[in-house]
Amino acid sequence: MKVAVLKGGDSLERQVSLRSAARVEDALDRLGHEVVAIDVGPDLVDRLGEARPDVAFVALHGRGGEDGTVQELLELVGVPYTGSGPAACIRCMDKVVAKHALRDAGVPTPDFYAFSQAAFEELGAAKALPAIEERLDFPIVVKPAGQGSALGIKFASTAADVPGAIVSAFSYDTKVVLERHVAGRDLAVSVLEGPDGPEALPIVEAVPRGEDFYDFEARYEIGRTEFICPATLPDEVTTRARELALETYRVLGCYGFARVDLMLDDATGELTVLEANVIPGLTDTSLLPLAAEAAGIGFEALIARVLELAVARAPA
Ligand SMILES: Nc1ncnc2c1ncn2[C@@H]1O[C@H](COP(=O)(O)OP(=O)(O)O)[C@@H](O)[C@H]1O
Ligand SMILES: [Mg+2]
């Protein structure tokens, strides 16, 4: 098949996308497909028109590529593509939308309050902060509704830290989430659709090295975090985490593959869902490939599977 690999773009996760795409291109090549690499920009529709690919592999992360924009465009130009459709992308890319959907469906997610920039600028939302702080207790996690890779996430240990954290989150998005902090273990469950429907892959635990426990951005720097797969957990926790990931995948309407991030509370043993990523990283240090490998699915087989699913969904 002729496969257009969509990569890059101008999101903050451009570099991760380029690394994911390089690995995907390599795998597609080894699988015998013809690869057309497209760094997405204003000429995307023209480039797709010229290349006339059989299918597009969307190796984009963040705004534009993961939020339904590119997916909607691919639907319009009639090119089958990998991963979730526009509606699931929109739901997952916006943590406010995703968390409301999860809560409504009875999937546990840490308690939260969300605000738009307009609420602060036009409705005096700052005056409501003490009420929120009282309900969530310190520390509080402040994050932009969009973005990923822990960009813009801040940890507020006292009321004095909250305004600064909110301002920082607003530099990434026009909506912020104030969320209850979960002291516990950081788990990721990838979901991949097999012949019998979505399956949860072995769990990856992210274990931070050193002292920077609350510097979330540092966790993503190579070497600062150790990834253990399969995570060492009691059987019932493993089962429950995988069930929650599948439930999240279903509630948010994902297709093909996704990665669900969860927290396991040290004190209560409770599992909560932080978010779902519709286009998980596919770099050589990413969690989905690691989990697939642990399930006996090599990188090429993973890419082949995701591509097959894209073609299977395509309208005749
Ligand atoms: N409520 C929370 N309690 C504790 N840690 C959190 C919380 N929210 C986020 N984190 C930490 O920050 C990381 C990134 O948060 P997440 O919500 O997955 O956003 P993203 O990955 O999109 O940046 C998590 O994997 C976790 O380590
Ligand atoms: Mg995450």
Question: From the CA of 97, how far away is ligand 2's center (Å)?
Answer: 15
Q: Specify the pTM.
A: 0.95
Maximum distance among all Cα pairs of the chain, rounded to whole angstroms? 60
> Does the pLDDT of residue 150 top 80, yes or no?
no
Amino acid 209: pLDDT: 78
Contacts with 65 (C-beta within 8 Å, 6 or more apart), sequence order: 6, 9, 11, 17, 40, 58, 279
Residues belonging to the active site: 13, 149, 220, 259, 261, 275, 277, 281
The number of beta carbons lying within 10 Å of the beta carbon of residue 61 is 31
CB atoms within 10 A of CB 312: 11
CA of 109 to the centre of ligand 1 (A): 12
The tens digit of pLDDT for each residue in 170-205 reads 999 999 999 999 999 999 999 999 989 999 999 999
Q: What is the mean pLDDT of the chain?
A: 93
pLDDT tens digits along 152-164: 889 999 999 999 9
Pocket of ligand 1 (CB under 6 A): 110, 141, 148-150, 153, 179-182, 186, 216, 261, 263, 274-275
pLDDT digits (tens, 9 = 90+) for 289-312: 999 999 999 999 999 999 999 999
Quote the CA–CA distance of 293 and 297 in Å, as a whole number. 5
Quick check: 169 pLDDT over 90? yes
When pLDDT is averaged across residues 235-255 and rounded to a whole number, the result is: 98
Mutation probe of ligand 1 site: the residue of 216, 220, 262, 288 with most atoms within 8 A of C-beta = 216
Which residue of 153, 215, 266 sits with most ligand 1 atoms within 8 Å of its CB, as the best mutation to test the pocket?
153
Distance CA 28, CA 199 (A): 23
One-letter amino acid for residue 139 of the chain = P
